[in-house]
A and B are shown apart, each in its own frame.
Chain A
Amino acid sequence: MKKPTLIKVAEALAVIAAIGLAATPLALLTVRSLAQSWYWPRLAPPAWSLRAWRYVFSPTAEVLPSLATSLSVALVVTLLAVIVALPASRVLAWEEFRGKRAVLFALLLPVLTPPLAATMGVHSLFLRYGLSDTWVGVALSHLIATVPYATLMLTGSFSRLDPDYEAQARTLGAKTIDVWRSVTFPAIAPGLAVAASFAFLISWSQYLTTLLIGGARIVTLPLTLVAFQRGGDEAIAAALSLVFLAPTAAVAFSVARFLKESR
């Protein structure tokens, strides 16, 4: 069916607006990171420079160590969150048991409670067990936020999969590992990809939790970023923001591609 011109124009405008909303801040950040002495009321920077970028990647800025901390925390948190969420969501989706609603509610609690309140409580607990100011403590505190998300998402994937598929595979001669590899995993892979990337992104963008639990010892990228933004050098803050955004964009992009393929 041919669409009326007015609707086509409206659709095109909507797409442009959506792209613009996403792209404008990125473009501004890029320009800002490359600009030299750019002040109001100038529309364009008077001169360009790689100074900010050079500084960000220099050893004095200590951006690279915080990047490494962020990456290591986020990757381990993602892995652990998925490992915990897989069996939990499988049970939540397929089994009926007393108190299932209570468990689901408890899973939502860390998402609902204000992070500051929750983290304060966790902090006093971690202090007692010597986990504050440690890498392990930071990773654990990130897990509190990521496991519920991952579990709830995978619960959706499992409830869309008929458990009889596993029974069918078994009677056809598939061992437990084969059932997982050949039947269950392909069926929940899209949900798993989304859950894992969410876990990664949530851990990646934690600020308050890392600040409180990690003291000033465990420095992740968001902490560095905030420090530089306070420092007032806008070009460096902009460059750092782009560094901070890069893995996020990479994750979002690859998940989108994967979901498109698996459809």
Chain B
Amino acid sequence: MTALLLDRLTVNYGATRALGGFTLAINDAELVALLGPSGCGKTTVLKVVAGLLPPASGDVRFDGISVLPIPAERRGATMVFQKPLLFPHLTVAENVGFGLKMRRLKKGEIAARVAQALQLVRLEGYERRKPHELSGGQEQRVTLARALVTEPRVLLLDEPFSALDENLRGEMRLLVRELQQRLLITTIFVTHDQREALAIADRIALLLDGRIEQVGEPRDLLLDPSSPRAARFFGWTLLAGERIGQTVSTAAGDLKLPHAGETGSCYVAFRPENVRLCACEELGANLTGRLESLIDFGARWQWRVRLPGGEILAAEQTNMLCQCRLRAGDEIKLFLPEKAVKYFAPQDKTK
């Protein structure tokens, strides 16, 4: 039952700044995915919360009280790393019971709680195995049980499933979500995989270069990126253009905007799957490009188009009434609906 506040955290590794003024508030029992490319400072955030790394400035508060003076072992923030890090000389039960033993609990209570935790992760009967006798998925379930058994105030998951194969990863994701909601643990889940973040999180915090770029519910980030960088991370195509009144002219064509605004160079963004191929102009095409490839599955088209500015669009679309015979290499027309276009004013023209 812990609300978490990370307040203007700054962390430096020597001369490089890993986090610069990182601020994020997490509600009690909320699961926030910290999403970003590798090397953007995600693990650093977890280490600061866990107490493994002191920040150069800023504060970490659990329920409004600063925990920076509390050392890692008494902070109640348990971390699950990318590697399983099961202690190789201990059995599964001893690994899961490690945190309880460190708290000097009685043997009987440890055994009971270990059994309970193993049941949560569906590993009953594995108590006496050694870590090297487990599969990758089992190892990560043991680490999860080992973290949960101590009833942490905050659970910190650092890409815990990135070494597992896709099917297993999906399964583990569901398990984590289920346990997190059952036990109501405030959780930060670090990942570089946007699908994983979308699948598991109450909210997503997009982290780029040591700063939060955008925080919101998964749909907000998908449908309404707050900056060109956030848009690009979620797979939007960005076009540079010049705005005059209600029109933005780009190398690929002119796009209409709903409102008039200030004149100047700007960015427009859209998702490739909202673009429609069209050769016969019936749709009111507004962009042009060169068809690089087209696979016709009858009901579906899978296509790749290169825009004049060099941007590649790739998407699938259900086949329309268009009767044109399109071939790779053709100059073709594209239709982008007005409401699928996101406009970024000149001042957010960060990259």
Q: Is A187 an interface residue (CB 8 A)?
A: yes
Instruction: Tell me whether A171 and B78 are in contact (CB under 8 A).
Output: yes
Chain B residue, CB-CB nearest to A165? B85
Q: Is B146 an interface residue (CB 8 A)?
A: yes
Q: Is A164 an interface residue (CB 8 A)?
A: yes
User: Which secondary structure dominates where chain B touches chain A?
Assistant: mixed
- Please tell me which stretch of A40-48, A113-121, A145-153, A174-182 contacts chain B, meaning at least 4 of its Cβ atoms lie within 8 angstroms of it: A174-182
Closest chain B CB from A162 CB (angstroms)? 7
Knowing A173-B73, A174-B73 touch, does A168 contact B81 (C-beta < 8 A)?
yes
B98 cross-chain contacts in A, Cβ below 8 A: 169, 172, 174, 182
A182 cross-chain contacts in B, Cβ below 8 A: 87, 98, 101-102
Q: Is A249 an interface residue (CB 8 A)?
A: no
A187 to B75, CA, bound (A): 26
Most buried by A among B71, B89, B102: B102
Q: Is A245 an interface residue (CB 8 A)?
A: no
A175 cross-chain contacts in B, Cβ below 8 A: 73, 102
Instruction: Tell me whether A172 and B85 are in contact (CB under 8 A).
Output: no
Instruction: Tell me whether A172 and B147 are in contact (CB under 8 A).
Output: yes
Instruction: Tell me whether B89 and A168 are in contact (CB under 8 A).
Output: no
Q: Is A26 an interface residue (CB 8 A)?
A: no
B77 cross-chain contacts in A, Cβ below 8 A: 171
- B interface footprint on A171-211 (CB within 8 Å = 1, 0 otherwise): 11111001000110011000000000000000000000000
Chain A residue, CB-CB nearest to B78? A171
Knowing A165-B87, A183-B87, A187-B89 touch, does A171 contact B103 (C-beta < 8 A)?
no
Chain B residue, CB-CB nearest to A262? B89
A165 to B81, CA, bound (A): 10
Instruction: Tell me whether A174 and B102 are in contact (CB under 8 A).
Output: yes
Q: Is B52 an interface residue (CB 8 A)?
A: yes
A164 cross-chain contacts in B, Cβ below 8 A: 81, 83, 85
- A interface footprint on B91-123 (CB within 8 Å = 1, 0 otherwise): 000000011011100000000000000000000
A174 to B73, CA, bound (A): 6
Chain A residue, CB-CB nearest to B95? A172
Instruction: Tell me whether A172 and B81 are in contact (CB under 8 A).
Output: no
Chain B residue, CB-CB nearest to A169? B98
A174 to B85, CA, bound (A): 15
CB-contact partner of A172 in B71, B83, B89, B146, under 8 A: B146
Q: Is B200 an interface residue (CB 8 A)?
A: no
A167 cross-chain contacts in B, Cβ below 8 A: 47, 50, 52, 72, 79, 81
Instruction: Tell me whether B87 and A173 are in contact (CB under 8 A).
Output: no
CB-contact partner of A170 in B72, B101, B150, B156, under 8 A: B72
Instruction: Tell me whether A173 and B102 are in contact (CB under 8 A).
Output: yes
Q: Is B17 an interface residue (CB 8 A)?
A: no
A164 to B79, CA, bound (A): 11
Knowing A162-B83, A165-B85, A187-B89 touch, does A172 contact B78 (C-beta < 8 A)?
yes
Chain B residue, CB-CB nearest to A171? B79
CB-contact partner of B89 in A162, A171, A174, A186, under 8 A: A186
A187 to B131, CA, bound (A): 14
Chain A residue, CB-CB nearest to B156? A171
Knowing A162-B85, A183-B87 touch, does A172 contact B52 (C-beta < 8 A)?
no
A178 cross-chain contacts in B, Cβ below 8 A: 73, 102
Most buried by B among A167, A169, A173, A187: A173
B83 cross-chain contacts in A, Cβ below 8 A: 162, 164
Knowing A167-B79, A168-B79, A182-B98 touch, does A173 contact B150 (C-beta < 8 A)?
yes
Known: A162-B83, A170-B51. 4 other contacts (CB 8 A): A164-B81, A168-B85, A169-B98, A171-B72
The 4 closest A-B pairs by CB, nearest first: A172-B99, A173-B102, A170-B72, A171-B79
The chain A residues found within 8 Å of chain B, CB to CB, are 162, 164-165, 167-175, 178, 182-183, 186-187
**19 interchain pairs (CB within 8 A)?**
A162-B83, A169-B87, A170-B71, A170-B72, A171-B51, A171-B52, A171-B75, A171-B78, A171-B79, A172-B78, A172-B98, A172-B146, A173-B74, A174-B73, A174-B99, A175-B102, A178-B73, A182-B98, A186-B89
